[in-house]
Structure 1
């Protein structure tokens, strides 16, 4: 009994420390190529974005028409990688700032 529990715990521990599958399947190409594909195939366009740090831009591409969205990260060298993608995109307005919420 102890051997079975130990083996199960060992297997679960190894599985828990393995790198995520997403990191192994990261899709990267030039920004122009990624943008063209997102625009042509999925009808997506940039809906939000910002700098992660001084050399990385993060953008959210989405299509209200198809309901798809894609999050890409672009390096200063122009290499874009798809970080996440999905369906059922919806747009949320930012909550208005109230005098009490200022810090």
Structure 2
């Protein structure tokens, strides 16, 4: 994976982590619906949806943000794992594509 793709993935992961942390006020409230032990969540994504980890990064408060996706079905899921090991689903959807877009050319002389 080239540097540009890594930067784009990290930017997306950071935005997802920020959104997650901004909208989550109580982790305990999330556990019954969207959270569980990391191993169980990863197993469910693999067995239920054919998703594997595509990228990862460190978000706010040392949380691990990961993007899982299936090349066959195009489904994707973003997870955030707290330092204590609790993994929460942040977002999911369809039509996952890996992009390698170039950064825009900066034409200023500065």
**TM band (smaller chain):** 0.5 to 0.7
Normalised to the residue count of structure 2, the TM-score between the two structures is 0.62
Normalised to the residue count of structure 1, the TM-score between the two structures is 0.66
- The alignment covers a number of residue pairs equal to 81
Q: 1 or 2 for the larger relative contact order (CA 8 Å, sep ≥6)?
A: 2
Structure with greater strand share of residues: 1
RMSD over aligned Cα atoms: 2.7
Cα distance in 2, alignment partners of residues 97 and 40 from structure 1: 39
5+ long unaligned stretches in structure 1: 1-18
> Runs of 4+ in structure 1 displaced over 6 angstroms?
96-100
Show the counterpart of 2:39: 32
Q: How far 1:81 moved relative to its partner?
A: 0.3
Q: Does 1:70 align with 2:77?
A: yes
5+ long unaligned stretches in structure 2: 1-22, 24-28
Larger radius of gyration: 1
